[in-house]
Structure 1
Amino acid sequence: MDADPGGGSSTPLSWANVGLAFSFIVFDGIISVTFGLGVGSGLVTAAVRCIIQLSVVALILQKVFEAENPLAVAGIAFLLNFMGTIETVVNKSKKRYNHMFPSVLIGMLGSTIPVSIIGVRYAMVVEPFWQPEQYIPIVGMLCGGAISGIVVSVTYVLKELHDNKDKVEMYLAFGASRFEACKPIAKEALRLALTPNINQMSVLGIIAIPGMMTGAILGGSSVEQAARLQMVIMFMISSCTALSSIVTTCLALAVVVDNEHRVRSDRIDARPHAVWRARSWLVERITEHLKHATHRAWKKARPMFKRADSSYRSVDSPLEDRTDRERLLPGGR
């Protein structure tokens, strides 16, 4: 392996290397099929999405890095938050509430942008803070942490208010305000949202070496600097996750429990998202059209098969017909 002067690896990776790594996913899929886990298709789909998304991002970011335009950096930061909101609302949430999309978008933008600006400018000492090579990867990691926290917290809140709303209604019936009635749910939702970050930080360094530190070491940075960089990033991710979870949890509770201290279950939608309902409808329509087309084609082709079958029998079975007639005659065998 060739090494550059900074100590990082300069060996280019080809699609053959990616294909070799993809064999690990195939191995996981085989395990899923063998044990009947039912996650094989999900693994393959996620891996294909990963390939497509990272390929597109690589093309876009290469142009942004070369341009070094703050407006382009701001556009990419907003796009990451916008796509993260779509992923959260459409794919990750089994239940949704009214105006969930703008609520989640506000929660993500209100956490990732301030934390990234303050962290990159002052904790990482990058001037200007919007340098694409530094700022965009940080915003991407913060969006990933925010998505995880929002999904966990909002899922728990909606589950409690939809499936176990009797407890909240009991508090409200005894005169508690909606803040007092929903406080236990909010506390538990935030605790669940922050637990993965706490567990991750507790094992870093001793048990696990995180990806950002590994990338910095492979890029030629000293191990000490890479470790400090990872500390800064983990603290930023943790604060971003907490802030986004708090904002979205409060907004969700404010929508589902109204100003008149009533639990509005009608504002919770437990159906699949409209995107998936539209896809299911489209698949059903296509399937119906294919069935009708196949049925019409069979009705047109069926007489041809009947004529071919009758002509085949008239040519190939005269002896059998004559034998049958002889058996019907008197004295026939």
Structure 2
Amino acid sequence: MLAAEVLLPVDTTLAVVLAALLAAAVTVAALARLTGDRGRGYARQIAVAGLRAAVQLAAVSALIGWVVRAAPLLLCFVLLMFAVAVRTAGRRVTDNGTWWWAAVPIGGAVLPVVAVLLLTGLVPYQGIALIPITGILIGGGLTATVLAGRRALDELRTRHGEVEAAMALGFLDREARLEIARPAASDALLPGLDQTRTVGLVTLPGAFVGMLLGGASPLLAGAVQLFVLVALMAVQVVAVAVTLELIARGLLHRAASTEVPVP
């Protein structure tokens, strides 16, 4: 078995390589003028994201041993993860006050899955197991919500005339928006589907590698990774479906905060 310290030693070399990779990513994004649909350059965002990741992981590494020892602290940490995910997803989808609706697809997707895992005993009520599993699922819900929300709203903006045409033919507001937005929002499932379909052939995801480094057998590592992938697919499907419904009903939108929301 290859020890984790041998695979990736935490030393000056690691720090230099990480800094070089981050600098390369920022440089390429700047030279290629990679920007979002709102004209914001990604170079600065990449730099900030990398630095934030370093600070946040350092803080979590220092606190995780303390947090997992007490149930109240464990619950607070999970709620913090959820709150950050909602804020991040919501603000990626819209700039107005409807961003908080992102809590519905993320919470509605993750909570039932975590409840089933706890009630069946597959995941023990212990921080050392609950925090990483919940974090993976919340992260999957965040990604699916962002992709589905942005794609659906972009499609509705681009094909607004088709929505009005469908309404003129007798479709209800919700039905007309669903017909236009559903295919685009459904594409949010593609990254998860591709990851699941190619696991073991193209990539060996983190759960599998982590279990092997921790001394688990390849069979157990494979079972854990399969469990994570299937649970993630369940979370992402629910998150996409709920996000699509919120947009179709006009609850999550990009109208200015001073405007009357779409009925």
**TM-score when scaled to structure 1?**
0.67
Q: Name the residue aligned to 2:149.
A: 154
Q: Name the residue aligned to 1:224.
A: 219
Distance across 2 between alignment mates of 1:36 and 1:167: 32
Q: Name the residue aligned to 1:119.
A: 117
Q: In structure 2, list runs of 5 or more residues that go unmatched.
A: 35-40, 258-263
Q: Does 1:182 align with 2:181?
A: no
Q: 1:148: how far off?
A: 1.2
**Aligned AA (1:149):** A
**Aligned AA (2:71):** P
Q: SS at the partner of 1:268?
A: coil
Query: 241-250 vs 30-39, which deviates more?
Result: 30-39
Q: Does 1:21 align with 2:22?
A: no
Q: Is the 8 A contact 1:97 1:255 kept in 2?
A: no
Q: Name the residue aligned to 1:86.
A: 87
Distance across 2 between alignment mates of 1:41 and 1:96: 19
Alpha carbons of 1:36 and 1:157: their partners in 2 closer, same or farther (altered >3 Å)? closer
Q: Which has the larger radius of gyration?
A: 1
Q: Name the residue aligned to 2:103.
A: 105
**Aligned AA (2:104):** I
Q: Name the residue aligned to 1:75.
A: 76
Q: In structure 1, list runs of 5 or more residues that go unmatched.
A: 258-264, 271-333
Distance across 2 between alignment mates of 1:120 and 1:51: 31
Cα deviation 1:213-253 (Å, max 9, x = unaligned): 11111111111110110000011111111112211221222
Match of 1:41 among 44, 62, 79: 44
**Aligned AA (1:216):** M
**Aligned AA (2:15):** G
**Aligned AA (2:59):** V
Q: Name the residue aligned to 2:57.
A: 54
**Aligned AA (1:79):** L
Q: Does 1:203 align with 2:201?
A: no
What is the aligned length?
250
Q: Is the 8 A contact 1:213 1:226 kept in 2?
A: yes
Query: 103-112 vs 220-229, which deviates more?
Result: 103-112
Alpha carbons of 1:35 and 1:96: their partners in 2 closer, same or farther (altered >3 Å)? closer
Percent pairwise identity = 21
Distance across 2 between alignment mates of 1:19 and 1:161: 44
Q: Is the 8 A contact 1:216 1:226 kept in 2?
A: yes
Q: Is the 8 A contact 2:186 2:240 kept in 1?
A: no
Q: 1:197: how far off?
A: 0.8
Distance across 2 between alignment mates of 1:236 and 1:70: 24
Q: Name the residue aligned to 1:312.
A: none
Distance across 1 between alignment mates of 2:251 and 2:122: 42
Q: Is the 8 A contact 1:146 1:244 kept in 2?
A: yes
Query: 136-145 vs 186-195, which deviates more?
Result: 186-195
Distance across 2 between alignment mates of 1:269 and 1:197: 32
Q: 1:81: how far off?
A: 1.0
Query: 11-20 vs 203-212, which deviates more?
Result: 11-20
